[in-house]
Amino acid sequence: MTRIFTLMIIAISAVSIGVPLSAQTDSTFTYQGELQENGNLANGIYAFYVRPWDSEYGGTAVHIGNIVFPEVVDGKFSIDLDFGAEVFDGSDRWLELFVNGESLWPRQLISRAPYAVQTRGMVVGDEGNVLFNSLNQAEGTVTVSSPGGIDLILDADTNDVGEDQNARIVLKQDGGLVVGRVGYREGANDLEIMQEYNGDLVLGTNNESRVTISSVLHVKQDISNRGIRTEHEATPEYWDTGIGFVTRNYKFFYNDASKADISSVDGAYIIPSDRRLKRDTQPIPPVLEKVSQLMPATYLYIDNPENTPRSYGFVAQEVEPLFPNLVRESDDGTKGLVYDGFAVISIRAIQELHDKNLQLEQSQALSEQKLAGLEQANSELRTRLESLEQIVQQLASTEPEKTK
């Protein structure tokens, strides 16, 4: 009795039937189809002989072929084929199939894409996961190249019914001790860049709205004076910090304007004071009386623990009526002091004391000069008095002789 077999290809894909990836050969693929016998869906064990050719008609068989005995259920079957990696050189291949010795014509085309991917160690599992393997090589490399641009798209939660599903790249090393992740984590819409080592967070967000760094942060400057920028969340204002090209000082910039340096020599805090950077310079009026009203104090901050050394300084609200320009208000409404300004105020007060001292010295010199004049006059008067006394004495001694 002549049997008529009819074959329809369902799929050709990478093998993934629970076998460890390292055990897969890089040329193995799965052939799935539907078999009919005399117009009916086939059932039972059938002998398949599959041989690859380099042409749809004629040509040359590029492998002796595989013989497999799959079980066909309601016409459906799946067979694993392996013709070796050398068969797949990038050219199209056609499969010639025999079922129980009967040839099925025409030959079936296998396009380059399915087997070319598989021959590079890519496996698509039954659950839809895609696996890559370097096939027991020392190192594996995945290269994506294009003469134009390339977009690597990870599109998760496409139906928008999940709760912010993962869309990230996970990198593992050293048997999973070192783990890096880049992307969006389930339950968070913030971009996550993090690294863990042996379960401890080294760099990343740790599912919080901040970046945690538990090792040394190394920032290599690529321009002079700039290394780190912090920008305001709502406006274009920003702070830059970095190392000076010449001085090697650590520098602070606000919107490109230099605001301060920390000296690389001795750690001194340096504020720009060049005449070329200033305008509307005015002298400070007398401050000595106000300085005498300042009330230096020692104190503890509310959050200081017990046995904390006491701090020395002033209270902003007490300084404000005297020197309002030395008081600044923070974002939270609390007041602070520009303590550097007290040095300038102190110098101004010292200058006033110096002027007063000069005035006192001049007044004392004038008093001494007057005193010297008075002493000179007294000396002259004393001399004249002594002369008069001598004259009187002489007159007194000669007056009796005249009376005789």
pLDDT one-digit tens code per residue, 120-136: 455 555 455 666 655 55
What is the 8-class DSSP label of residue 25? -
Decide if 153 is inside a domain: no
Decide if 154 is inside a domain: no
Q: State the Cα–Cα distance between residues 253 and 350, nearest whole angstrom.
A: 33
Residues 32 and 112 in one domain: yes
Q: What pLDDT does 282 receive?
A: 95
Q: What pLDDT does 85 receive?
A: 75
Decide if 233 is inside a domain: yes
pLDDT of 4 above 80: no
Distance (Å) of CA 24 to CA 9, 66, 136, 262, 352:
23, 17, 10, 61, 92
Q: State the Cα–Cα distance between residues 56 and 108, nearest whole angstrom.
A: 8
Residues 253 and 292 in one domain: no
Q: What pLDDT does 147 receive?
A: 80
Which CATH number does the domain housing residue 87 bear?
Answer: 2.60.40.380
169-206 burial by CB neighbour count: b if 16+ within 10 A, else e? eeeeeeeeeebbbeebbeeeeeebebbbbeeeebbbbe
Q: State the Cα–Cα distance between residues 127 and 14, nearest whole angstrom.
A: 12
Q: What pLDDT does 22 receive?
A: 36
Distance (Å) of CA 131 to CA 16, 21, 127:
10, 8, 11
Q: What is the pTM of this model?
A: 0.51
Decide if 138 is inside a domain: no
Provide the token pair at 281.
Answer: 């310079």
Decide if 327 is inside a domain: yes
Residues 339 and 384 in one domain: yes
Mean pLDDT value of segment 352-366: 90
Mean pLDDT value of segment 246-254: 94
pLDDT band at 72 (very low <50, low <70, confident <90, very high): very high
Per DSSP, what are the bridge partners of residue 261?
A: 251, 270
**Domain coverage including residue 82:** 5-132
Decide if 160 is inside a domain: no
Give the β-pairing of 257-262 and 250-254.
Answer: antiparallel
Which H or E element spans position 319? helix 316-319
Residues 204 and 236 in one domain: no
Per DSSP, what are the bridge partners of residue 49?
A: 67, 98
Q: State the Cα–Cα distance between residues 263 and 171, nearest whole angstrom.
A: 41
pLDDT band at 53 (very low <50, low <70, confident <90, very high): very high
pLDDT band at 113 (very low <50, low <70, confident <90, very high): very low
Decide if 28 is inside a domain: yes
Q: What pLDDT does 243 receive?
A: 94
pLDDT one-digit tens code per residue, 143-184: 778 788 888 887 777 777 766 677 888 888 887 788 888 877
Mean pLDDT value of segment 381-391: 87
pLDDT band at 247 (very low <50, low <70, confident <90, very high): very high
User: Looking at per-residue confidence, does 393 or 132 come out higher?
Assistant: 393
pLDDT one-digit tens code per residue, 262-277: 999 999 999 999 999 9
Strands of the sheet containing 66-68, edge to edge, are: 66-68, 48-53, 93-99, 102-110
Mean pLDDT value of segment 74-88: 86
Q: What pLDDT does 18 receive?
A: 31
Mean pLDDT value of segment 206-213: 65
Q: What pLDDT does 250 receive?
A: 94
Q: What pLDDT does 281 receive?
A: 94
Q: How far apart are the first and last CA of the chain?
A: 207
Mean pLDDT (the chain, rounded): 81
Decide if 200 is inside a domain: yes
Residues 240 and 350 in one domain: no
Q: What pLDDT does 62 receive?
A: 92
Q: What pLDDT does 21 receive?
A: 34
Residues 261 and 289 in one domain: no
The total number of structural domains that make up the chain: 4
Residues 399 and 371 in one domain: yes
Out of 9-13, 194-198, 232-236, which region has the weakest mean confidence (pLDDT)?
9-13
Mean pLDDT value of segment 289-307: 95
DSSP H helices in 53-125: 112-118
pLDDT of 304 above 90: yes
Residues 87 and 172 in one domain: no
What is the 8-class DSSP label of residue 164? S
Q: What pLDDT does 54 receive?
A: 92
pLDDT band at 46 (very low <50, low <70, confident <90, very high): very high
Residues 44 and 74 in one domain: yes
Per DSSP, what are the bridge partners of residue 112?
A: none
